[in-house]
Every structure is written in structure tokens, then in C-alpha cells.
Amino acid sequence: MPKILVVDDDKAVQEMLADTLREHGYEVHTCRDGKQVLVELERSPYDLLILDVLIPHMNGFVLIEQIRERPDLEDLPVVMISGIYRSRNHRTEMTTRFKVIDYIDKPVPMDRLMDLVERVAGPAIPGSAPPPNDPEALAAETSGEWVDPDDIIDADDLTHTSEGTRPAKRPASLRTGGRAGPWATGGC
């Protein structure tokens, strides 16, 4: 059974992702910050890492750089998710420089994520689907994805509060890009 590490500091998002993956038969472990991820990856091998960008102690960008510097983790399949960093530049850099399989904007479209998980980590139940694709081929396939300009959050779109920096409240039609489907909601 493929083993997946889900990293998100927003407990609701983390639980929703982990519960969905478990319902599909995957073994799932969770972490909420970058330091925990490094400890967990040292302790146990994983078939896939789902990594949020804005996490405590070490953000996802710094973490992926450290992961790729380790020979034993340089080929670990990684899917990054973010509710803040939505530009084509981030997506391109992560998929080309750090061999990230895909860079998905929040709210996470669960059907898309589950398709990626099955293609990269393999089916939860052996023999229930075709074997996973080559990670480099999959990264090349997903890296040219079209980005809706309404989904890009600029620095001017951020609200600064005593609780931290968050995206400014936007109409639901802009948050979902007008697309339908099961969405993960929550923080970054």
C-alpha cells in the first residue's frame, strides 16, 4: 500500500486531505511544519509528499530545496499546494528546478489530486489501476498548465492583520475560478 505524507499547518485542510486519501485506501501520515517533515522523512520512506507552501519553521520552498539536496530524497515525488503563491513563476520554478510533480492552487480540486496520487504513488489496491507514470514525464505533462489570471494573488491582494498575512476576501466565483467540483478549503 503506497504511503503518503501530507503537510499542512491548517488542521482542517490536513485532516480533509488525509481522510480522503485514507478513504481511497492509502496509508497517510501528517506533519504541520518543515522541521517535522525532515524528521519524518529521515524516519520512514514515502511514496509521495503533498506539501503546503506556507508552513511554520521552514516554508515549503526552503523545505523542497533541502529535500532535493539529499541523495536519498532527490527523486521523492512531491505535489505542492498553496492558497497564496499562485503565479505561473512559482509553478514553473517548482516543476523545473525542484522536480515537483505538480503545483496546485487552493482550494484543492480533489478529483485532480486523487488522479495525480494514483498516477504517481500507484493505486491503493494493487491491480486496480494502471501502473504509475514516470515522475519526470508526469512533471512535464502538468507543468504547462494554464493559470486563470483571476486566481493569481499579488502582494496588493493580501490583508495584514494581527494574526498574520492572509489573502483579501474575494467573491466565491473568483476563489473557485468558476469551476465546479469537490474543493478543499482552508488556509495556506
| Stretch 77-90: mean pLDDT | 80
What domains does the chain contain, in order, with CATH numbers?
A: 3-175 (3.40.50.2300)
Residue type, 53: V
| Stretch 55-71: mean pLDDT | 94
DSSP 3-state of 75: coil
Rounded CA separation 75/52 (Å): 18
pLDDT, position 161: 52
DSSP 3-state of 110: helix
pLDDT class of 178 with cuts at 50, 70, 90: very low
User: By the 8 A CB rule, do 94 and 133 touch?
Assistant: no
pLDDT, position 90: 65
pLDDT, position 179: 37
Q: With 70 as the cut, is the pLDDT of residue 66 above it? A: yes
Please, what is the average pLDDT of the chain?
76
23: phi then psi, degrees, rounded to nearest 5: -60, -30
**Count of all residues that appear for the chain in the document:** 188
Q: Please report how the helices 135-142 and 110-121 are oriented relative to each other, as an axis angle in degrees rounded to 10.
A: 150
Q: With 60 as the cut, is the pLDDT of residue 172 above it? A: no
User: By the 8 A CB rule, do 125 and 77 touch?
Assistant: no
Long-range contacts of 178-185 (CB under 8 A, 24+ apart): 179/109, 181/109, 181/110, 181/111, 182/109, 182/110, 182/111, 183/107, 183/108, 183/109, 183/110, 184/13, 184/16, 184/17, 184/106, 184/107, 184/108, 184/110, 184/113, 185/12, 185/13, 185/16, 185/106, 185/107
Q: Which three cell numbers stand for residue 123?
A: 493505486
pLDDT, position 79: 96
- What predicted TM-score, i.e. pTM, was given to this entire model? 0.67
* Burial profile 109-118: b = 16 or more Cβ within 10 angstroms, e = fewer: bbeebbebbb
| Stretch 91-115: mean pLDDT | 87
| Stretch 134-158: mean pLDDT | 45
Q: With 50 as the cut, is the pLDDT of residue 151 above it? A: no
**What is the percentage of the chain residues whose pLDDT exceeds 70?**
63
pLDDT class of 31 with cuts at 50, 70, 90: very high
Q: With 50 as the cut, is the pLDDT of residue 184 above it? A: no
pLDDT, position 7: 98
Q: With 60 as the cut, is the pLDDT of residue 130 above it? A: no
